[in-house]
Each structure stands twice: as structure tokens, then as C-alpha cells.
């Protein structure tokens, strides 16, 4: 244990954030690091509880408590306190392939399970995690690890989101030859095309892909594995195939938008935004928010990211319509929690963008079909030239499952507690098997699928799986 009285001596300090009005002017990351002294104190606040619920990773009534990866949190908190960051890194990498992603975007269910948080504020676990890995990257502590020998087995991983990347990383380190097949022009899945740059800089994703490439993983982009001939070839040429294609099918919007331009799903809108801002590509003018009245439907991460992105594209106004009542979102003290995007919208326009208990009833469009406004269930007519539906996901794509002959309901069906599908040597992991979830769960899924594939290929495994 770090400092025995640390939780009494030090208060929680989160990583500082750039002021909202400053950060909406660019796409740069908005969190800043703490000084080393203060970071050590944040590690010292960990109480090293007899039962560290923070690392339990349990699902209770659909909500995650504790870390899905079973990160060895009290151990690395102790090492942060004692200044042994190198040792902290080795413990962190035992359970998490990509702490630089989770340290930035994980909603930190570990902190909800932190006993210190029952009496005061939880230990700043996520920020501590980020500090360990970023410190290691900047000091040369992250080394290229190539397997000492190759097994001769070939594995295709379809999809390069966090689940596919974790599976590929694990199997590559076991000495299997891994090729990651990705439909888009750049790897990373929602890390690249969903979560915006200010939350997860694309240079951070690229840094990991480059490291994995250097370690032996091959990435092939721009290939759609939902083509029957591609799927057939993959099954013929590889010893195992792992499908990690996400749960990209959006939930229907609930109103008729046929023939109207200016209506997008949240993931479509965010993808266009990344393509324009990061990859300098041409995107449809209707998907760009500059000068427009923007309405975002829905709540959760995707909706918040759409609000923050519209602000950075200099929208004229932004409103977020939330179906449920405001009371449903209040915390124990009766306050309405605000995401980073809500703080930013309040700073720019002087009011919280959320309107609760309201839905879109119908759309208004000009003769050319361009959206001009919406009518809400309260009867208001709101001006709107860009409408973004971030109402969640209804499961994985049909076409890729068909191409591989894999059974699916809403998501791919695997044997209970396993990752193998009904098709010999085809496995599935991540959102595609679990349903839309979190980056930490996707990494946990990729690791567990890798362990199962390793056992399938060589009869045993020493890969560690948390699920």
C-alpha cells in the first residue's frame, strides 16, 4: 500500500481541462497532465482495500462495476506513489493492451466501485492509468516486443476497432502471424472514426498501430470482408478468423426522413467530421455544421460527441433533444451531470443544450429537399438545417455474418461463455458479440477471444483472459 493515510491527507485532483471557450476553437485534446508530485499523491490515495472492488469487473443489472479488464489497480497506484513508474507499467500492461485509449475515454466503472468513493471522492484511477502509459511512451519505456519465434499459424482478424486490435496484439505476441482486415481507409474502428480527436487524438491511435505493425501485425485496409469471395478466401487461407466488426447498425430514428437532405446518424456525422478534419477529405456539404442550426437527438457518448463536434464546426446553434425526463438524469444531490460537450455549449451559447422529455415528430424541408426545421412532440417548430440522430445501436451488420455463414440474432451468436461461432474456425468478439458497449469491454473481449483461438490452434494457452 502507498501512503497509509493518503486518502485522509490528499483530496482527489482530476487532470485539469482547458477552458471550454478556448478548446472549442480547435480539435486538440482538452485534458492536461498533473505535475509528478500531485500525481504521486493521487496514487497514494488508494487504500489497498481487502477486497479491491475496483478491479472486479462485474455486471450488475446491466451496469458495469469495476474494471472489465481486471486491471491491477491497487498495485499500480502503489507504484505511482513510490515513484516506480516502470514497474507500474509492467503491471498495467499485464491486463490492458491499450491503456492510452482507456486512460482517455473509459467512463471508469472502476471509480464507481472504489471504496474511497463511498466516503469521499474515488481515487483518480483513469487519470493515473493514462499517466503511467503516456509517461512510458515519452520516456522510451514502451518497447517493441516481437515474438521470439513464429508458430506457423495464420489468423485473420476482421475489423480493427479495440476488440480486433486487442485480439491481434495478443495473438501476435504468442507468435502467430496475424493479418487485420479493415473495410475503411484507416484502422482503429470507432477509436478513429467515432470518438472525436479532442477526446482521443488520432495520433495516439496511429502510434499504437505503428507499434503493432513494427511488432509483426499486418494491416490491410479498404477491404470489405462482407463480400462472399473475400470471406471464402479468408476461411480457406487462414487457420482461424476472428470477426470484430462492431455493432454499427443504428436504431431507426422513428420519423420519416425519406428524400430530405441534412439528416444523418451520429456515427455517419462523426465519421464525416473525422474524414474532413483529420484526413483532409471532401465530405457532403449537408453534413458540415458551419452556420447551421443543429439538432442532436439522443443522449450518451455519441450524442455528446456530436454536440462538441458541431460546436467546433462553428454551428449557429445546437440543441440536444432527450426523450426521457430531466429528473431521470439527476444525481444523488439533485444536480444534472454535464458532459464535456454540455459545458462547452453552455460556455458558447450561455445555456445547456439539452431539452428533456422532447422528441422530433416531423420534419420540414424546402422544395429542393433540404431540411429547414423540425416540429417537436411539444408542438414547437425549431429551425434546423442539420439533424443528427444519436439514438443508439440495434446490433451488428447482416451482410458480414451472411458472408461467413455465421448465425446472428441482434448480435452474433456464440456458444455461451465462448467466442466460437457455429462455423468451424470462425470466432467473434467485441461489440459484434456483446452489443454496443465500451472500449474496455471490447479490449477484454479481444483478449478473451485470442486466448480461445490460441487454445484452438495449439491445444493450450498461456494468454490471460478476464472474461
Residues that bind ligand SF4 (CB under 6 A): 67, 69, 71, 73, 102, 106, 108-110, 125-126, 129, 440
Binding to ligand FAD in span 273-302, by CB under 6 A: 301-302
**Comparison of 222 and 291: residue with beta carbon closer to ligand FAD:** 222
Distance, CA of 127 to CA of 123 (rounded, Å): 9
Q: Name the region of 426 (left: φ>0; alpha: ψ -120 to 50; beta: rest).
A: beta
* Only segment of 16-24, 99-107, 345-353, 457-465 that touches ligand FAD (CB under 6 A): 99-107
Helix (H, G, I), strand (E, B) or coil at 402: helix
Single residue of 274, 439, 448, 467 touching ligand FAD by CB under 6 A: 439
**Comparison of 220 and 351: residue with beta carbon closer to ligand FAD:** 220
Sequence-distant (6+) residues with CB within 8 A of 467 are 57, 68, 444, 445, 448
Q: What is the pairing mode between strands 381-383 and 371-376?
A: antiparallel
Rounded to a whole number of angstroms, the minimum distance from the CB of residue 309 to ligand FAD is 9
Binding to ligand FAD in span 352-371, by CB under 6 A: none
Give yes or no for residue 250 binding ligand FAD (CB under 6 A): no
* Residue 108's binding partner out of ligand FAD, ligand SF4, none, with CB under 5 to 8 Å set by partner kind: ligand SF4
Which residue's entry shows cell 504468442?
Answer: 174
Give yes or no for residue 162 binding ligand FAD (CB under 6 A): yes
The closest of 387, 382, 375 to 303, measured between CA atoms, is: 387
Chain Cα centroid distance, residue 354: 23
Give yes or no for residue 158 binding ligand FAD (CB under 6 A): yes
Give yes or no for residue 319 binding ligand FAD (CB under 6 A): no
The closest of 237, 241, 238, 299 to 266, measured between CA atoms, is: 299
Chain Cα centroid distance, residue 439: 4
Find the DSSP H helices in 264-414. Answer: 266-277, 301-312, 340-349, 398-404
Q: What is the pairing mode between strands 354-356 and 317-322?
A: parallel
Binding to ligand FAD in span 299-318, by CB under 6 A: 301-302, 305
Specify which residues 137 forms β-bridges with: none
Give yes or no for residue 448 binding ligand FAD (CB under 6 A): no
Rounded to a whole number of angstroms, the minimum distance from the CB of residue 190 to ligand FAD is 4
Give yes or no for residue 29 binding ligand FAD (CB under 6 A): no
Rounded to a whole number of angstroms, the minimum distance from the CB of residue 178 to ligand SF4 is 23
Give yes or no for residue 171 binding ligand FAD (CB under 6 A): no
**Comparison of 108 and 190: residue with beta carbon closer to ligand SF4:** 108
Give yes or no for residue 160 binding ligand FAD (CB under 6 A): yes
Q: What is the pairing mode between strands 177-182 and 154-158?
A: parallel
Give yes or no for residue 194 binding ligand FAD (CB under 6 A): yes
Give yes or no for residue 239 binding ligand FAD (CB under 6 A): no
Number of residues that bind ligand FAD (CB under 6 A): 40
* Only segment of 17-25, 53-61, 140-148, 157-165 that touches ligand FAD (CB under 6 A): 157-165
Give yes or no for residue 453 binding ligand FAD (CB under 6 A): no
As given in the structure block, the three cell numbers for residue 328 are 431521470
Distance, CA of 216 to CA of 225 (rounded, Å): 22
Measured in residues, the chain has a length of: 467
Phi and psi for 219 in degrees, rounded to 5? Answer: -115, 130
Distance, CA of 197 to CA of 309 (rounded, Å): 9
Rounded to a whole number of angstroms, the minimum distance from the CB of residue 165 to ligand FAD is 7
The closest of 386, 353, 340 to 21, measured between CA atoms, is: 340
Give yes or no for residue 412 binding ligand FAD (CB under 6 A): no
Q: Which residues bind ligand FAD (CB under 6 A)?
A: 105-107, 158-164, 181-184, 189-190, 194-195, 224-226, 244-246, 248, 267, 270, 301-302, 305, 397, 400, 430-432, 437-440, 442
Amino acid at each position: 500500500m502507498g501512503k497509509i493515510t493518503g486518502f485522509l491527507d490528499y483530496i482527489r485532483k482530476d487532470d485539469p481541462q482547458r477552458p471550454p471557450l478556448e478548446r472549442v476553437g480547435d480539435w486538440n485534446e482538452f485534458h492536461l497532465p498533473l505535475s509528478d508530485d500531485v500525481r504521486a499523491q493521487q496514487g497514494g490515495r488508494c487504500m489497498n482495500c481487502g477486497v479491491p472492488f475496483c478491479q472486479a469487473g462485474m455486471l450488475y443489472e446491466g451496469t458495469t462495476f469495476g474494471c472489465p479488464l481486471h486491471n491491477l489497480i491497487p498495485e499500480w497506484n502503489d507504484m505511482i506513489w513510490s515513484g516506480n513508474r516502470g514497474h507500474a507499467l509492467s503491471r498495467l500492461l499485464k491486463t490492458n493492451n491499450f491503456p492510452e485509449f482507456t486512460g482517455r475515454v473509459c467512463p471508469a466503472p472502476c471509480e464507481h466501485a472504489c471504496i474511497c468513493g463511498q466516503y469521499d471522492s474515488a481515487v483518480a484511477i483513469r487519470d493515473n492509468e493514462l499517466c503511467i502509459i503516456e509517461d512510458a511512451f515519452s520516456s522510451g519505456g514502451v518497447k517493441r516486443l516481437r515474438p521470439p519465434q513464429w508458430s506457423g499459424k495464420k489468423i485473420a482478424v476482421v475489423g480493427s476497432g479495440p476488440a480486433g486490435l486487442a485480439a491481434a496484439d495478443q495473438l501476435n505476441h504468442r507468435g502467430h502471424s496475424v493479418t487485420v482486415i479493415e473495410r475503411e481507409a484507416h484502422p482503429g474502428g470507432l477509436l478513429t472514426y467515432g470518438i472525436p480527436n479532442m477526446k482521443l487524438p488520432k495520433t495516439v491511435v496511429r502510434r499504437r498501430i505503428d507499434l503493432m505493425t513494427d511488432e509483426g501485425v499486418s494491416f490491410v485496409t479498404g477491404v470489405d470482408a462482407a463480400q462472399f469471395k473475400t470471406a471464402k478466401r479468408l476461411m480457406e487461407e487462414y487457420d482461424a478468423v476472428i470477426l470484430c466488426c462492431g455493432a454499427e447498425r443504428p436504431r431507426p430514428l422513428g420519423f420519416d426522413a425519406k428524400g430530405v437532405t441534412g439528416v444523418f446518424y451520429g456515427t455517419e456525422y462523426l465519421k464525416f467530421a473525422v474524414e474532413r478534419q483529420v484526413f483532409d477529405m471532401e465530405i457532403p456539404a449537408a453534413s458540415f455544421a458551419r452556420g447551421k442550426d443543429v439538432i442532436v437527438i439522443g443522449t450518451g457518448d455519441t450524442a455528446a460527441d456530436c454536440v462538441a463536434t458541431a460546436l467546433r464546426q462553428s454551428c449557429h446553434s445546437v440543441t440536444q433533444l432527450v426523450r426521457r425526463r430531466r429528473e431521470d438524469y439527476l444525481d444523488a444531490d439533485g444536480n444534472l451531470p454535464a458532459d464535456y460537450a454540455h459545458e462547452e455549449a453552455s460556455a458558447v451559447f450561455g445555456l445547456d443544450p439539452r431539452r428533456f422529455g422532447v422528441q422530433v415528430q416531423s420534419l420540414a424541408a424546402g422544395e429542393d429537399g433540404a431540411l429547414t426545421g423540425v416540429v417537436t412532440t411539444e408542438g414547437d417548430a425549431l429551425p434546423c438545417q442539420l439533424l443528427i440522430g444519436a439514438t443508439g445501436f440495434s446490433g451488428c451488420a447482416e451482410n458480414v455474418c451472411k458472408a461467413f455463414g455465421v448465425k446472428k440474432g441482434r448480435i452474433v451468436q456464440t456458444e455461451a461463455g465462448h467466442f466460437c461461432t457455429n462455423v468451424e474456425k470462425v470466432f467473434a468478439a467485441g461489440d459484434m458479440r456483446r452489443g454496443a458497449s465500451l472500449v474496455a469491454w471490447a479490449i477484454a473481449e479481444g483478449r478473451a477471444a485470442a486466448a480461445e483461438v490460441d487454445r484452438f490452434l495449439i491445444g493450450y494457452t498461456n494468454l490471460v483472459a478476464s472474461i
